[in-house]
Amino acid sequence: MDHRVNSSDPRQRGNALLMSFLLVTTLAALATAHLAVVERNSRQAGFLHSWQLLHRHCESGIHLALHELTYSTGKGDGKIGTELWTTANDVGRDGSPATFDEGERDGIPTPGEPNLAAIQVGLDALGMQLLVLTTDTAWTDVKRIVATSYDATAIAGQEIYALRRLFNLPGVGTVFLQPEVNIDINGNAFSVSGTDMNPNGRPAAGDCNSLPLA
């Protein structure tokens, strides 16, 4: 008995065309989904890479400001690209006051605000810029240093408080610990005060007793 399909049957040809169309459509959908996932992952990887570089530039800006303050290099003020910026210029990224946009009235120079002259850092092709502002604080000899690094896609910032202190006695230092953090110290050639201190070096409320080591 002959079971061959009659190729001249219109129904058989229609079914074959329909199956081919469904197969091509399915493959196209899978390819599109794959490309979308790859593009999303590429964007995320690119953002994370840029974000890490921006934070490294912020750290470099902090160190540059500390170097200026310590050795009176440059203008000795610890400012980079923010020499002419004042709190009156703190109007946010759109450069206009009273719009309540990002960065307005936060006390930190924000890209887009007047009187900023950011310096380029890193490779030219990346287009990364750096701003560093150093200001006085309520504590004597304590400086607030804020570094901001940014490119066309992201912005990063770091902030520290630096205490200028000259020690006449060798071996005198300070250890700052987070709450509930323990530290083990061995030896008998030194003592630990255990006194809570403010950034200006003055005792804070809730002081501990002195803990001399035997």
3-57 pLDDT, tens per residue?
555 555 666 766 777 788 788 888 888 878 777 766 666 666 666 778 889 999 9
Q: Which of 101-105, 126-130, 187-191 has the lowest mean pLDDT?
A: 187-191
Beta-strand runs (E) in 112-175: 119-121, 128-136, 142-150, 155-163
Give the Cα separation of 132 and 127 in Å (integer).
17
Find out whether 150 and 156 touch, Cβ atoms under 8 Å.
yes
Whole-prediction pTM: 0.60
CA angle 35, 36, 39 (to 5 degrees): 85
Structure tokens at 38: 């790859």
Find out whether 126 and 53 touch, Cβ atoms under 8 Å.
yes
Q: Which of 54-63, 67-76, 83-92, 105-114 has the lowest mean pLDDT?
A: 67-76
3-state class (DSSP) for residue 20: helix
Give the Cα separation of 163 and 146 in Å (integer).
14
pLDDT tens for each residue of 143-172: 999 999 999 888 999 999 998 875 544 555
- When pLDDT is cut at 50, 70 and 90, the band that residue 207 belongs to is very low
| Closest residue by Cα to residue 82 from 144, 140, 21, 38 | 144
Give the Cα separation of 141 and 200 in Å (integer).
7
What's the distance, CA 3 to chain centroid? Answer: 72
Round the average pLDDT of the chain to a whole number and report it: 80
Residues β-bridged to residue 120: 129
Q: Is the pLDDT of residue 210 over 50?
A: no
